[in-house]
Chains A and B, each alone.
Chain A
């Protein structure tokens, strides 16, 4: 009786796809540990547990028994990848690296890696998700190469670093003329060419981003576009946290100034 009540109170758990079609008894999770399975085999040599036991755990005599049909996961079909996912992956990469050749190479690297690890693909995620995961990894690798290619020493002392361009070394306040000016953001909401302006703005933002040093570009992209955590970026690029923050800071300072000069310049300056 008590059992019945409990059963009624609990909402019926959703039946996993691989267990559909089996009786309720057979659905009992009986292969939590190998030990339990073995005990059940001894008790019920032909019991329902066989439906769930992996083939290599089955006793020899029953290995030839037909296993219940599990829903088939579709095999990955690499021949269709370029047609099915090529454009999507390419556009994704193009948004990140803004260089058609590099984007193409990244997609190619993705396919090469995917083909190599095809055996490891278990169909737990869709092919599309899986390929995107690989592509994201490739993009991070790309930034890592970019950040490492020219080794730049990082002067941390404020009077040597590029911070001196922005702040007075004596007291750390904004240099004359470097202080941020008010930006007229979103004042032109009602105008018809907002989309066009946005496009132009993004063009300038991209150009400004490309003026940063490769290391700053990589850190900026990993932080603000890939949205990795600070620890991950430090690890990927082999940076100490304080260096990392100095680079983020410098990248933002340069980018901000570049945008202000090229986009937000007051008309009658």
Chain B
């Protein structure tokens, strides 16, 4: 415990791993985190897996190029909506 006190504990380290993805950490923090990651296999795995999850989540949201389109009911509703607008204002 006393050995690790200048470093972070795992809870702080994992939080900093999340922050690190957003903006660069201050130099001292960076060094401390680097040291922690070299000593702690769990947090090292966490850092990798955290990035992996972020990549996968982004890929998950990418729309399938071909897939099911608008359900017919929604399409009809939307068409009514735009037609009503066109008829109401006289704008094409």
Residues of A within 8 A of B (CB): 75, 77-79, 81-82, 86-88, 90-92, 94-96, 100, 104, 107-108, 111-112, 115, 118, 158, 163, 166-167, 171-174, 179-183, 185, 201-202, 205-206, 209, 220-221, 224-225, 227, 229-230, 245-246, 248-249, 252-253, 255-256, 259
Given A183-B52, A256-B53, A111 and B58 contact (CB-CB distance below 8 Å): no
- A82 with B82: CB separation less than 8 A: yes
Given A172-B9, A181-B45, A224 and B70 contact (CB-CB distance below 8 Å): no
- B14 with A249: CB separation less than 8 A: yes
- A209 with B79: CB separation less than 8 A: no
Interface size classification for chain B: 35 or more
B64 contact set on A, CB distance < 8 A = 91, 95
- A225 with B12: CB separation less than 8 A: no
Main secondary structure of the interface of B (DSSP, over half): helix
Q: Taking the nearest CB of chain B, how far is it from the CB of A211, in angstroms?
A: 14
**A-contact bits for B18-50, CB 8 A (1 contact / 0 none):** 110011000000000000000000110110111
Main secondary structure of the interface of A (DSSP, over half): helix
- A205 with B49: CB separation less than 8 A: no
User: Could you list 16 A-B pairs, sorted by A, with CB under 8 Å?
Assistant: A77-B92, A86-B75, A88-B63, A90-B74, A91-B68, A94-B67, A95-B64, A118-B91, A180-B43, A180-B49, A183-B52, A201-B56, A205-B60, A220-B57, A225-B60, A246-B15
- B45 with A167: CB separation less than 8 A: no
